[in-house]
């Protein structure tokens, strides 16, 4: 059972309520957008909730087991903060949605109904439907470690141990061109070898993707210019002049960790784990069957 504050509970029991819904979207790049189905602007907790986007909630389900609660919210892309390009670029994917019931006459009387995450988004013309998934959805995500040959650490994190922000492993780039195929041309990598940033990370410092991180699939050099192919991102919101911090690429191989970074002691994989063909092997003359160390 929900526990409302005394003031909000008294308002609900008054018989004449003045309630509205308010949503606060927190995008992956930490940008926050407030919307309400009321016809006037509402503000609380330092956030302003605008009525212009025409949000409308659907029926929602609450389950009493480990199943994922779901709901939907409908809206129209008629707010300069929420554009069709943002939807296509995926900036709303996995965004956090805080959903309040608010007494619009006294916004201090409110209750946080749900905290969800945006799943599937459907768009038809100038209208969109966003599926809201409860925090139970995170129970379906991988937790813990997987025994595999490749390293499962993020380059530069505490388990890796390397300072990814040092001048040796990172650099600032500026976008100079965006091609039709989605690749971007940047300056700032002239002193690096071709392929230096392949499988690396780009941390945006300005532009629509500010504070967001994206993987770099390939770093090529064409006619003296550095061209980056980005993974899981659409270039529609990237503009010439946007800046980002680029971190060197790591392919998660043990040989790369040992030879390129001299960091084999911190390798977070199992490079010598037997493969699927191990069960098909049989003893052969000359095999070392002493039970000693096989790899040094």
Kindly compute the dihedral angle of the four CA atoms of residues 189, 193, 197, 199, in this order, to the nearest 10 degrees. 170
Residue with tokens 């100038």: 126
* Nearest alpha-carbon partner for 127 in 87, 97, 99, 160: 87
Residue that finishes a domain, picked among 226, 247, 268: 247
pTM exceeding 0.85: no
Residues 12 and 131 in one domain: yes
Q: Provide the number of structural domains found in the chain.
A: 2
CA angle 261–168–266, rounded 5-degree value: 30
10 shares its domain with 121: yes
Spell out, as residue ranges, where the chain has pLDDT lower than 50: 63-68, 76
Q: Nearest CA to 209 among 173, 238, 170?
A: 238
For residue 40, give its domain range: 6-140
pLDDT digits (tens, 9 = 90+) for 73-95: 555 455 566 766 677 667 777 88
Q: Look at residue 126 in the predicted model and tell me its pLDDT.
A: 63
**Which pLDDT score is estimated for 286?**
80
Q: What is the pLDDT of residue 93?
A: 78
Domain contains 145: no
- What lies within 8 Å, CB to CB, of 258 at 6+ separation is 264, 267
110 and 66 part of one domain: yes
């Amino acid at each position: 059972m929900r526990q409302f504050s005394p003031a909000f509970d008294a308002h609900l029991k008054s018989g004449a309520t003045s309630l509205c819904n308010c949503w606060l979207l927190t995008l992956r790049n930490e940008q926050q957008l407030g919307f309400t189905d009321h016809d006037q602007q509402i503000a609380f907790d330092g956030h302003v909730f605008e009525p212009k986007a025409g949000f409308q909630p659907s029926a929602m389900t609450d389950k009493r087991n480990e199943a994922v609660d779901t709901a939907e919210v409908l809206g129209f892309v008629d707010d300069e903060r929420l554009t069709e390009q943002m939807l296509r670029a995926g900036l709303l994917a996995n965004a956090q949605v805080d959903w309040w019931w608010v007494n619009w006459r006294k916004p201090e009387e409110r209750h946080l109904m749900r905290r969800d995450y945006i799943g599937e988004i459907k768009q038809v013309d100038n209208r969109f439907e966003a599926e809201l998934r409860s925090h139970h959805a995170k129970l379906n995500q991988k937790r813990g470690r997987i025994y595999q040959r490749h390293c499962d650490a993020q380059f530069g994190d505490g388990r890796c141990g390397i300072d990814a922000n040092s001048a040796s492993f990172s650099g600032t780039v500026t976008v100079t061109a965006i091609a039709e195929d989605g690749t971007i041309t940047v300056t700032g990598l002239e002193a690096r070898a071709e392929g230096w940033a392949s499988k690396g990370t780009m941390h945006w410092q300005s532009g629509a993707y500010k504070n967001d991180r994206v993987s770099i699939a390939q770093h090529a050099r064409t006619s003296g210019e550095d061209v980056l192919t980005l993974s899981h991102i659409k270039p529609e919101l990237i503009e010439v002049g946007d800046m980002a911090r680029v971190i060197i690429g790591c392919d998660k191989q043990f040989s790369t960790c040992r030879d390129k970074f001299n960091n084999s002691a911190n390798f977070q994989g199992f490079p010598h784990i037997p493969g699927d063909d191990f069960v098909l092997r049989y003893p052969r003359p000359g095999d070392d069957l002493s039970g000693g160390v096989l790899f040094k």
